[in-house]
């Protein structure tokens, strides 16, 4: 059975944008790190996209 995996990054980026943030990523020797930032803060880096998504969902909507 063939399963289709979709890249979650575009959806997470859209969610971040709806909260007034930009999704950022950097590759280290050990892993990929993801975080969000805007004009007011830079979020902590996450290795787990699910945890980052939960953090973004708690942010207020951009006005």
Residue 36, pLDDT above cutoff 90: yes
Name the residue ranges covered by the structural domains of the chain: 9-58
DSSP 8-state assignment for residue 59: S
Strand partners, 27: 32
pLDDT over 60 (residue 3):
no
Per-residue pLDDT at 5 exceeds 90: no
> Alpha helices, DSSP H only, in the chain?
9-18, 49-58
pTM of the predicted protein model: 0.84
pLDDT digits over 37-53, tens only? 999 999 999 999 999 99
Q: What's the first-to-final CA gap in the chain, in angstroms?
A: 45
Sign of CA dihedral 14, 32, 56, 41: negative
At 4 the pLDDT is: 55
37 alpha carbon, distance to own chain's centre: 10
User: pLDDT tens digit string along 6-29?
Assistant: 899 999 999 999 999 999 999 999
């Amino acid at each position: 059975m063939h399963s289709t995996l979709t890249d979650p990054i575009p959806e997470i980026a859209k969610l971040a944008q709806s909260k007034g943030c930009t999704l950022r990523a950097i590759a280290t020797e050990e892993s990929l790190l993801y975080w969000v930032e805007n004009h007011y803060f830079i979020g902590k880096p996450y290795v787990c996209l699910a945890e980052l998504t939960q953090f973004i969902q708690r942010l207020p909507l951009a006005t």
